[in-house]
Structure 1
Amino acid sequence: MTTAVTRPYTVSARIKPADTAPTAPGVYTATVYVNTAPNSFNGYQHHHPLAEATRPDGSPLRLVFHASSRITDHNAAADAAYEVGNRQSADDNGQTWPCDIRSVSVGDVIKVTGPDHWIIHLSVDRTGFSAVPEPTTLVGLPGTCATSRH
């Protein structure tokens, strides 16, 4: 014997989420590593010792750039960090390059963290940047950068 069972009607619907406030624009963060090897102006080599640029109080210097028509990718963020590091501008938070650190130059490395938290390390070349492996030889700055050999 079979028994008939009535099932309630089911309705499927696509529910669109309510509009939320616009999200903050993507942010690129740049950290500069100053090459402390003798004659490093010939370019970065993976065995070269690097020193992280810091603020006068010793805390890490993180340059911040918001994604915009000017900052569209990691190369543009590295270029903006290079400008700050050569005292030509400030980052998007108004930070300028510390006066006790030499300018960013060929042989240095710029670490860029992108909006989706991806990280790339770029060496400063004579023209532009080249991707390099994450540096492994990190050292402290000897006194001030004015005493480093470049």
Structure 2
Amino acid sequence: MTTFATRPLTVTARITDADTIGSVPAPTVYTATVYINTHPDNFDGYEPHHPLTAATHPDGSPLHLTFHASDGIRGHEAAAEAAFEVGNHQRADDSGTYWPTDIRSVSVGDVIKITGPGHWIIHLRVDPTGFTPVPEPAHLTALAGARPARHR
């Protein structure tokens, strides 16, 4: 026996994103700022009392690395890993920025600040294997007229 049943009406709606440019959605971007640990024991790991200084371009402007969300970048740890690779001269960021040659490589004990979609921020300590979230560093310093040093 066949029973006739009516199907409920289906409504299709187009939901637009507030972060669109014209009709093209704005790309989801992660921004990384690397804080170099300048404490004498910096390679033993980051401690909250260690002084940190932000990596900068040769002209002294802040060095912000950008990464577009993709199959390879799907979260804050993947963005931190990409920043670590840039900071170790393995690649450029998605805007073509390379790590300055006069700043030491990103190492254990440094902190990477990731600003993600929606402008949320997380600070990640560079560990021997991976990253660990830490509170926002309280000891950010600016080296008067100088940049973070190369390896000793």
- TM bucket by the smaller chain? 0.7 to 0.9
The one-letter code of the counterpart of 1:146 is A
Q: Aligned match of 1:112 in 90, 114, 133?
A: 114
Given that 2:28 and 2:117 are in contact with CA atoms closer than 8 Å, whether structure 1 keeps it comes out as yes
1:80 corresponds, among 82, 85, 88, to 82
Distance verdict in 2 for CA 1:23–1:104, change over 3 Å: same
- 1:18/1:117 Cα in 2 relative to 1: closer, same or farther (>3 Å)? closer
Alignment of 1:1-150 (within 5 A): 16=13, 21-141=23-143, 143-146=146-149
RMSD of equivalent CA atoms: 2.1
Counterpart-to-counterpart distance in 2, 1:32 and 1:139: 13
2:106 alignment partner AA: V
8 Å contact from structure 1 (residues 36, 148) kept in 2: no
Q: Distance in 2 between matches of 1:121 and 1:18?
A: 33
Shift of 1:140: 2.1
Give the letter aligned to residue 38 of structure 2: T
Give the SS at the match of 1:139. coil
| CA deviation string 1:90-124 (max 9, x = no partner) | 00000000111100000000000001110000000
Q: Report the TM-score when normalising by structure 1.
A: 0.83
How many positions carry a matched residue from both structures? 136
Contact 1:106 1:126 in 2 (8 A): yes
> Runs of 5+ in structure 1 lacking a partner?
1-13
Q: CA deviation at 1:15?
A: 9.1
Q: Which runs of 5+ in 2 are unaligned?
A: 1-10, 17-21
The share of aligned pairs that are identical, in percent, is 62
19-28 or 61-70, larger mean C-alpha shift:
19-28
Scaled by the length of structure 2, the TM-score of the pair is 0.82
